Chains A and B, each alone.
Chain A
């Protein structure tokens, strides 16, 4: 087994170790402090704000937070909150965030429900990431996206461009609505409605869904296997398709779900050519209803909304909220994500010889010792590759900020 058994009861013992030796403070601080603006956090439901990395480290090591949620940047340091009139506090900047939660798909996944996930339904997250990542980059022009595994049953996206951080509530809500296709709650049977003309965004999304649909929906989820699930699929179709005599007969005769699906698509095509009304896309609607990302608009809308921080520990599963490398997206396995128990265990493993030399160096220069040791420490654990993903993300941000500053100073330069 690649992950140690995690017992929530051990968390109080493991967390201090995590924050002392494993948590990637320098990268974290870098991320949070771009633009030289101080951020504030909630830890254990208390306001904390920090202006230096040292402050951040010391506080977090002292507090040993069980939960770190990140909120907006405020215009005054919250510790002055009581002294300043409440009207002057305004959330100035906050990343644009998205939260995809597997429980929102409970009506269309058969393998699991509620907080459970498995490799079969994880594909939904893969699809969601592909669709949203493309749209945020190509349609909206954002560049700096950080996708993070939540630690249990979903993923988060942090859009960190300057332009994204400055978006108004109305703009965030507009972006989220643009990205929403699945509408309606329990009472709504047909949750996706398509009509002519089909917007290019929908076409792009469909091509992603089509890549995965056969394996995911027909095979893994077996949506056209049992009578019960077939009925659910057919429930979204209109009367005139259902009344095609071929349908009932063919489904009786044909047990192969893939063939059943093809049959369904044929019927839709036939109806389309017969009908005067253009644009009937029931097959596409079904694919989207079963696979298209479901995001909570309220999370993205709220400038004051809190979202779990990357590299925090999920208390129920013990897994670290790690950044996801999009280059390896199809092979990402949430069950391979290290737990805090695992990486603490890895820490205890006997060290190689080079390590002893480093120890000597450390004794000579105590100041940087702590820093170096921590870097060596996480490098010895399964956390290493995820910190690398974070590093690359930060590099890209730093490069583009440099580019921006150069541009600005060029414009202002005296000749």
Chain B
């Protein structure tokens, strides 16, 4: 006997069908059309969120109060819509679409995939844990995770065994909360460490542990999906509108690009030596030192340092004077400088608008492109220096041994920007940099802000005078600094907007 095919009933509006839970596994790609603007905005905003997830994951203990507060704030920012609030549907839609766009940008290499998966997992874990218990179970069912709950009788009969097998289980917990029965193949981490009760091939998992299982599932699915995405990427990249966006994303710099000069001429050449010790990130301090010592820098170093100097406010005339005076001390005479090198300095200060090549390099660019070879001094010391040499350098710069260790740990974990941020914190004697480091010029600006004790940029002149007179007075009590830094965080948004 054959039954006619069951026709699907249309339940409610199609919107509700699509997003029936605030969380999702991102199984189905979005099918609608969106504008390029929305495409880019969604992607950039999710990227900011993921970078915060990464930053917090390294600097705070996960699930500590600090962590939850900060991550909560960032998530709210992500879902925030400046106009009259944002509907639940629109939130979920943004979540959905932004995730899939970032997949395109982050599927291409093993490193990018690993990073993306890690942050998405941490974000998912946070949001899942935040769910009400009922919604957790809801989510499991809606996603075909065949995890049955154990009946009350069975729970009672197994109570002692359950308590003896699972961490953090008590009699009351067993009674009040669900215990899930899961095929042992889906709970390998718990089986391997014998942290779960097994019976007849099933693992009995208490409610609070189910998230580990769910996360493993999430990771597996995302990993497979990214591999598939990578295969279909060439088709996407051939779309001229998308290609620059995507490659920009994966070399993610999502803040100010310092191409428009502010404070031109506010810094005098005599200040540069002092500034290099106090407010330059390590890469630029390194380059400056090499320039002073060798009276020369190769092309890569000239570009990286020269554009940075432009970004902090050197005028074209100042720049020419700076480079010429240094090179002339070396093997290059004034004429040769004017013929060969001056041209490239002027180029850096190109006339027309934003030429991407001639904007000061972001950290991502420094880290990922053009690695230095013998005789080069550019690049990111945290990425490109041998850890031993890095250690020595930091010792020379009087960084404390424990601080050096912290930095080296971050370097080992490939968190180069966070290592530099840590360097900032140690050299400025603050506990929390108060910003997420993405750009060498940002480092400089933040440093100047901190040292001058205020937002007002005009104070820089006073400050630099002060620092000349009193180089040792840079440190302030760390409490005051971090408080300031915290207040300033709120204002940081304006820095990310073009003026």
Once bound together, how far apart are the Cα atoms of A173 and B193, in whole Å?
A: 11
Q: A175 to chain B: which residues have CB within 8 Å?
A: 191
A142, A198, A199: residue with the most chain B Cβ atoms closer than 10 Å: A199
Does B368 make an interface contact (CB < 8 A)? no
Q: Which of A124-149 contact B (CB under 8 A)?
A: 138-142
Q: Judging by beta carbons under 8 Å apart, are B185 and A142 in contact?
A: no
B1, B193, B194, B200: residue with the most chain A Cβ atoms closer than 10 Å: B194
Q: Which of A367-415 contact B (CB under 8 A)?
A: 414-415
Q: A163 to chain B: which residues have CB within 8 Å?
A: 201
Q: Judging by beta carbons under 8 Å apart, are A139 and B185 in contact?
A: no
Once bound together, how far apart are the Cα atoms of A174 and B184, in whole Å?
A: 10
Does A184 make an interface contact (CB < 8 A)? no
Q: Judging by beta carbons under 8 Å apart, are A197 and B185 in contact?
A: no
Which chain A residue shows the least CB distance to B198? A139
Q: Judging by beta carbons under 8 Å apart, are B198 and A177 in contact?
A: no
Among candidates A141, A174, A197, residue contacting B192 with C-beta atoms closer than 8 Å: A174
Does B165 make an interface contact (CB < 8 A)? yes
Q: B161 to chain A: which residues have CB within 8 Å?
A: 200
Q: In the assembled complex, how far is the CB of residue B493 from the closest CB belonging to chain A, in whole angstroms?
A: 45
Once bound together, how far apart are the Cα atoms of A139 and B202, in whole Å?
A: 8
Contacts A200-B161, A200-B164, A415-B1; is A170 near B188 (CB within 8 Å)?
A: yes
Q: B164 to chain A: which residues have CB within 8 Å?
A: 197-200, 203
A139, A175, A203: residue with the most chain B Cβ atoms closer than 10 Å: A139
Q: Which of A306-336 contact B (CB under 8 A)?
A: none
Q: Judging by beta carbons under 8 Å apart, are A139 and B2 in contact?
A: no
Q: Judging by beta carbons under 8 Å apart, are B184 and A200 in contact?
A: no
Q: A197 to chain B: which residues have CB within 8 Å?
A: 163-165
Q: In the assembled complex, how far is the CB of residue B150 from the closest CB belonging to chain A, in whole angstroms?
A: 16
- Per-residue A-contact encoding for B62-87, CB less than 8 Å = 1, 0 else: 00000000000000000000000000
Q: A414 to chain B: which residues have CB within 8 Å?
A: 1-2
Once bound together, how far apart are the Cα atoms of A415 and B189, in whole Å?
A: 43
Q: B42 to chain A: which residues have CB within 8 Å?
A: none
Once bound together, how far apart are the Cα atoms of A171 and B216, in whole Å?
A: 13
Does B280 make an interface contact (CB < 8 A)? no
Q: A138 to chain B: which residues have CB within 8 Å?
A: 199-200
Once bound together, how far apart are the Cα atoms of A197 and B198, in whole Å?
A: 15
Q: Judging by beta carbons under 8 Å apart, are A141 and B202 in contact?
A: yes
Q: A415 to chain B: which residues have CB within 8 Å?
A: 1
Q: Judging by beta carbons under 8 Å apart, are B2 and A177 in contact?
A: no
Does A201 make an interface contact (CB < 8 A)? yes
Contacts A197-B163, A200-B164, A414-B2; is A178 near B191 (CB within 8 Å)?
A: yes
Q: In the assembled complex, how far is the CB of residue A415 from the closest CB belonging to chain B, in whole angstroms?
A: 5
Q: A140 to chain B: which residues have CB within 8 Å?
A: 184, 198, 201
Once bound together, how far apart are the Cα atoms of A138 and B202, in whole Å?
A: 10
Does B197 make an interface contact (CB < 8 A)? yes
Q: B184 to chain A: which residues have CB within 8 Å?
A: 140-141, 171, 174
Q: In the assembled complex, how far is the CB of residue A135 from the closest CB belonging to chain B, in whole angstroms?
A: 8
Q: Judging by beta carbons under 8 Å apart, are A200 and B165 in contact?
A: yes
Contacts A167-B185, A170-B188, A174-B191; is A141 near B165 (CB within 8 Å)?
A: no
Q: In the assembled complex, how far is the CB of residue A129 from the closest CB belonging to chain B, in whole angstroms?
A: 19
Which chain A residue shows the least CB distance to B163? A197
Q: Judging by beta carbons under 8 Å apart, are B188 and A171 in contact?
A: yes
Interface size on A, residues (CB 8 A): 23
Q: Judging by beta carbons under 8 Å apart, are B192 and A173 in contact?
A: yes
Q: B198 to chain A: which residues have CB within 8 Å?
A: 139-140, 178, 201
Once bound together, how far apart are the Cα atoms of A200 and B194, in whole Å?
A: 10
- Per-residue A-contact encoding for B96-131, CB less than 8 Å = 1, 0 else: 000000000000000000000000000000000000
Interface size on B, residues (CB 8 A): 20
Interface of A is mostly: helix
Q: A203 to chain B: which residues have CB within 8 Å?
A: 164
Once bound together, how far apart are the Cα atoms of A142 and B202, in whole Å?
A: 11
Q: A173 to chain B: which residues have CB within 8 Å?
A: 192
Once bound together, how far apart are the Cα atoms of A163 and B283, in whole Å?
A: 56
- Per-residue A-contact encoding for B158-180, CB less than 8 Å = 1, 0 else: 00010111000000000000000
Q: B191 to chain A: which residues have CB within 8 Å?
A: 174-175, 177-178
Q: In the assembled complex, how far is the CB of residue B6 from the closest CB belonging to chain A, in whole angstroms?
A: 16
Q: Which of A213-237 contact B (CB under 8 A)?
A: none
Which chain A residue shows the least CB distance to B3? A415
Q: Judging by beta carbons under 8 Å apart, are A200 and B197 in contact?
A: yes
Q: In the assembled complex, how far is the CB of residue A389 from the closest CB belonging to chain B, in whole angstroms?
A: 25
Once bound together, how far apart are the Cα atoms of A141 and B2, in whole Å?
A: 37
Which chain B residue shows the least CB distance to A166? B185
Q: Judging by beta carbons under 8 Å apart, are A178 and B192 in contact?
A: yes
Q: In the assembled complex, how far is the CB of residue B312 from the closest CB belonging to chain A, in whole angstroms?
A: 52
Once bound together, how far apart are the Cα atoms of A174 and B202, in whole Å?
A: 14
Once bound together, how far apart are the Cα atoms of A203 and B163, in whole Å?
A: 14
Once bound together, how far apart are the Cα atoms of A226 and B94, in whole Å?
A: 75
A141, A163, A173, A414: residue with the most chain B Cβ atoms closer than 10 Å: A141
Q: B1 to chain A: which residues have CB within 8 Å?
A: 414-415
Among candidates B163, B188, B189, B199, residue contacting A139 with C-beta atoms closer than 8 Å: B199
Which chain A residue shows the least CB distance to B187? A174
Once bound together, how far apart are the Cα atoms of A364 and B459, in whole Å?
A: 115
Q: In the assembled complex, how far is the CB of residue A205 from the closest CB belonging to chain B, in whole angstroms?
A: 11
Q: In the assembled complex, how far is the CB of residue B90 from the closest CB belonging to chain A, in whole angstroms?
A: 40
Once bound together, how far apart are the Cα atoms of A408 and B391, in whole Å?
A: 65
B1, B2, B161, B185: residue with the most chain A Cβ atoms closer than 10 Å: B185
Among candidates B165, B189, B192, residue contacting A199 with C-beta atoms closer than 8 Å: B165
Contacts A171-B188, A174-B188, A199-B164; is A141 near B194 (CB within 8 Å)?
A: no
Q: In the assembled complex, how far is the CB of residue A386 from the closest CB belonging to chain B, in whole angstroms?
A: 29
Q: Which of B194-209 contact A (CB under 8 A)?
A: 194, 197-202
Among candidates B188, B189, B197, B200, residue contacting A141 with C-beta atoms closer than 8 Å: B200
Q: Judging by beta carbons under 8 Å apart, are B201 and A177 in contact?
A: no
Among candidates A139, A177, A200, residue contacting B193 with C-beta atoms closer than 8 Å: A177
Q: In the assembled complex, how far is the CB of residue B320 from the closest CB belonging to chain A, in whole angstroms?
A: 59
- Per-residue B-contact encoding for A190-218, CB less than 8 Å = 1, 0 else: 00000001111101000000000000000
Q: Judging by beta carbons under 8 Å apart, are B201 and A142 in contact?
A: yes
Once bound together, how far apart are the Cα atoms of A63 and B392, in whole Å?
A: 67
Q: In the assembled complex, how far is the CB of residue A124 from the closest CB belonging to chain B, in whole angstroms?
A: 22
- Per-residue A-contact encoding for B135-170, CB less than 8 Å = 1, 0 else: 000000000000000000000000001011100000
Q: B201 to chain A: which residues have CB within 8 Å?
A: 139-142, 163
Q: A167 to chain B: which residues have CB within 8 Å?
A: 185
Which chain B residue shows the least CB distance to A202? B194
Once bound together, how far apart are the Cα atoms of A200 and B203, in whole Å?
A: 13
Q: A142 to chain B: which residues have CB within 8 Å?
A: 201
Once bound together, how far apart are the Cα atoms of A168 and B188, in whole Å?
A: 11
Q: Judging by beta carbons under 8 Å apart, are A178 and B194 in contact?
A: yes
- Per-residue A-contact encoding for B1-28, CB less than 8 Å = 1, 0 else: 1100000000000000000000000000
B163, B188, B189, B202: residue with the most chain A Cβ atoms closer than 10 Å: B188
Once bound together, how far apart are the Cα atoms of A174 and B189, in whole Å?
A: 7
Once bound together, how far apart are the Cα atoms of A170 and B186, in whole Å?
A: 11
Once bound together, how far apart are the Cα atoms of A178 and B192, in whole Å?
A: 5
Which chain B residue shows the least CB distance to A163? B201
Q: In the assembled complex, how far is the CB of residue A244 from the closest CB belonging to chain B, in whole angstroms?
A: 29
Once bound together, how far apart are the Cα atoms of A173 and B161, in whole Å?
A: 24
Q: B197 to chain A: which residues have CB within 8 Å?
A: 199-200
Once bound together, how far apart are the Cα atoms of A312 and B416, in whole Å?
A: 58
By Cβ-Cβ distance, the 5 closest A-B pairs, closest first, are: A141-B201, A174-B192, A139-B198, A141-B200, A174-B188
User: What are 8 A-B contacts with C-beta separation under 8 Å?
Assistant: A140-B201, A141-B199, A141-B201, A168-B185, A197-B164, A200-B164, A203-B164, A415-B1
- A: residues with CB less than 8 A from B are 138-142, 163, 167-168, 170-171, 173-175, 177-178, 197-201, 203, 414-415
- B: residues with CB less than 8 A from A are 1-2, 161, 163-165, 184-185, 188-189, 191-194, 197-202
